[in-house]
Structure 1
């Protein structure tokens, strides 16, 4: 199959993209993520069928997912879309679509899209409904023996203040995970209360003088700086890449080089902080490139 279809299965949207034999993006569509497993399988199958009808041929299928596929059982684990956990998503989709599929963590797909071929080490960050990361070394993904390399979002937020400690309860069973402070719904709730989920309007509100929005954005980027400083202290990557929906907030790339050095165990900090070139579609393009 020379055409490749990528699926990005996120917490709020399912995105499909089709790459032609030359690797050129020819189609891109988004629909809301259904609330349960069966409907999600159906939604992916419908989107693949519609895409293939439009391009006029069958394609390979790569899927970026929250969490990862267990190397021991083939079941999904560690997904913040918790209805995926314990499910044989790869096998079920292969049966529904009538062909093999390849799955990888959404941060891995971001890294494949943006850092493939990078000569040094890079750490790619997903900031969206969930929070994750991926490590690239010498142009290749480093998945680790247990395939959890880069699961930075489920480490505790470092250098917690007294007001932050012990941190919110996380769906994973721990408290104070980086994800519980830095994901989009957490940022929205910090600004507008527990019922809020969408943080996309906060930068515009802050620019218009909304002090509550500005304070939430300031807390968020300062926490992100602490979390990324721990990555620098552990891995000291050559580049840090920001992806996911929140990476569209331009102030992150502007503020982080100033804030991260406060927590880095070094007298210098010269690591570039870059926004994904393909924006929040990097994941779906990386998923297509799993084949």
Structure 2
């Protein structure tokens, strides 16, 4: 198609439990939505489900598609990589869908799509530079400059979840004990300390009780000392992790998504720790929750066009 931006665009979020498709206009208004369950561990069935869901939309034949996936397209091979839905790894998803659907297709990591959504018309729409953070079952991130996604030379820009968290630089009470193994094979990745399951592990190590992250936060609000200790440690660790991003990128806005982003104390407490780690006499970076919530990923996929 021509270099002109389309009047409408299709966004698809390829999630672990559902595939969601939307049609979005240039004003960011969603005009159509369809959802189907994600097939389990089957690449061919996933292609068929995406084809089926597109068939349910009332759209012109040449309307382009943006897809958010739990991984990225290798710029070297054109094949999928780094997908936690492992059946996608090594597969030519973009090429197969373009051929199957007869449409132009763009693919980006779901955290990148989240960031693009919030930078385009969400919580960070007035920020010239944006770092988007997913704090969910895992930890991901993305970067937008002037509302344009930055992918990087290896398509891993923003993947801070698998940086090693510098626990030896931790300042404050409740010092964490290093040595957490990550599924990626490294030790003490950011994800092993800041994902929702990481908070659960910290509380379990402290008390022996196995509670959900939401339950731990509720107990902290209610005044339980152990929960307050673990949540305070989490705030400090999040500041430590984000300080690396701020020292390198110094983004205007850091926007948070994922289940842990619903923890209100993050927005009042993390800033109190940042000046311990950021190499500046003042920290002006805004840390805000996402506006579009669970819809940010699929909206960002549509904004790829």
| TM-score above 0.5 | yes
CA RMSD of aligned residues (A): 3.1
Instruction: Mark the CA change 1:275 to 1:236 in structure 2 (over 3 Å): closer, same or farther.
Output: same
The Cα of 1:225 is off from its aligned counterpart by: 1.4
Aligned length: 287
- Choose which of 167, 171, 177 in structure 1 pairs with 2:180: 167
Q: What is the CA–CA distance in structure 1 between the aligned matches of 2:244 and 2:235, rounded to whole Å?
A: 14
Runs of at least 4 residues of structure 1 off by over 6 A?
Answer: none
2:255 aligned with 1:241: yes
Q: What is the CA–CA distance in structure 1 between the aligned matches of 2:48 and 2:239, rounded to whole Å?
A: 39
Equivalent residue of 1:242, what SS? strand
Deviations 1:192-245 (A, max 9, x none): 689x79645543454455666555433333221110011112222222111233
Q: What is the CA–CA distance in structure 2 between the aligned matches of 1:14 and 1:219, rounded to whole Å?
A: 36
Equivalent residue of 2:111, what SS? helix
Instruction: Mark the CA change 1:206 to 1:95 in structure 2 (over 3 Å): closer, same or farther.
Output: farther
Instruction: Mark the CA change 1:137 to 1:127 in structure 2 (over 3 Å): closer, same or farther.
Output: same
Asked if structure 2 preserves the Cα contact closer than 8 Å seen for 1:119 and 1:138, the reply is: yes
Q: What is the CA–CA distance in structure 1 between the aligned matches of 2:40 and 2:268, rounded to whole Å?
A: 35
What is aligned with 1:261? 275
Instruction: Mark the CA change 1:280 to 1:86 in structure 2 (over 3 Å): closer, same or farther.
Output: same
What is aligned with 1:4? 9
What is aligned with 2:290? 276
The Cα of 1:13 is off from its aligned counterpart by: 4.6
What is aligned with 1:231? 245
- Choose which of 17, 41, 44 in structure 2 pairs with 1:36: 41
Structure possessing the higher radius of gyration over alpha carbons: 2
Q: What is the CA–CA distance in structure 2 between the aligned matches of 1:21 and 1:271, rounded to whole Å?
A: 29
Q: What is the CA–CA distance in structure 1 between the aligned matches of 2:59 and 2:224, rounded to whole Å?
A: 49
TM-score (norm: length of structure 1): 0.83
5+ long unaligned stretches in structure 2: 1-5
5+ long unaligned stretches in structure 1: none
